[in-house]
Amino acid sequence: MRVLPCGSDAVLVEVDTAEEVQHLHGALRSAPPAGITELVPAARTVLIRYDPRATDPQRLRTALRTLPRTAVAASAGAGAAGAGAAVRIPVRYDGPDLAEVAARTGLTERQVVERHTAAQYRVAFCGFAPGFAYLTGLDPRLRLPRRTEPRTRVPAGAVAVADEYTGVYPSPSPGGWHLLGTTALTLWDPAADPPTRLGPGTAVRFVEAPDGAPDGASGEARGGAPDDAPDTDGGAS
């Protein structure tokens, strides 16, 4: 773990893996050191903003080394946002890259769908575009590098995979991920509060939309409906 100064009121904590980011973020939420005002997780870092009147980088370094083990353990089991129902996202697996993903992974298209829907995901961080959530937990067989030629426009609702992540494009944008399918759910609404339910630490499940039914036919609300039972996943893998 490296703790680097970042401006006059923040430090950047560097770790080695996305899982370490989630555990650290969860521990800091569970037992925040005095003076912290904001936490911003990313792929391998957590930005910690603080009130200079209440703490400083040296105090934060000490606090990070002495985070209660119970807080770190709890974050590993519950995720950064704590245990709770997973957001369900219905998907029509009709993406233009589904056949290519199957061919490159040695799976059938049906096996790709089954592996994508079987996993339990967790939002690691948000970035790239407003509302774009990077979800960890992707089956290792589905992990492919980004496309060598990104598309100039990916439609909103496209469900995609790249490297160790899966995600949903919340609005039309360029993109280099492999498109597996589409969802009709609106996952980014600036007028809503919050504008997305897919904040860091949120548990997510993808479910296949019934044949012939619109993605939202089950009545799920903006951002998806929670599972009937609490999600008890042990975090991203």
Q: How far apart are CA 108 and CA 124, in angstroms?
A: 28
State the pairing for strand pair 151-154/158-162. Answer: unpaired
220 and 90 in contact (C-beta within 8 Å)? yes
Q: How far apart are CA 127 and CA 113, in angstroms?
A: 25
Quick one: 203 exposed, middle or buried, by C-beta within 10 A (0-12, 13-18, 19+)? buried
Smallest Cα–Cα separation from 204: which of 93, 129, 127, 120? 120
Give average pLDDT by consecutive 10-residue segment, the chain, 237 residues.
93 90 88 93 93 95 78 46 74 97 98 98 90 95 96 97 96 96 92 89 93 46 43 33
Query: Residue 170: how many CB atoms within 10 A of its CB?
Result: 24
pLDDT tens across 35-76, in order? 999 999 998 999 999 999 999 999 999 999 888 654 444 454
Residue 182 bridge partners (DSSP): 92, 158
CA distances from 84 to 125, 175, 201, 203, 228 (A): 18, 31, 10, 8, 10
Q: What is the pLDDT of residue 144?
A: 98
Global pTM reads 0.76
Measured N-to-C along each axis, helices 109-118 and 98-105 cross at an angle, to the nearest 10 degrees, of 90
Q: Chain centroid to CA 96: how far?
A: 23
DSSP at 31: S
Quick one: 66 exposed, middle or buried, by C-beta within 10 A (0-12, 13-18, 19+)? exposed
Q: List the end-to-end C-alpha distance of the chain, in Å, as a whole number.
A: 20
Helix residue ranges, H only, 31-126: 57-65, 69-78, 98-105, 109-118
Beta strands in the chain (DSSP E): 2-5, 10-14, 36-41, 45-50, 87-91, 121-126, 133-136, 151-154, 158-162, 165-168, 173-175, 178-182, 203-208, 225-226
Smallest Cα–Cα separation from 205: which of 104, 84, 98, 106? 84
State the pairing for strand pair 87-91/203-208. Answer: parallel
Q: What is the pLDDT of residue 84?
A: 58
29 and 48 in contact (C-beta within 8 Å)? no
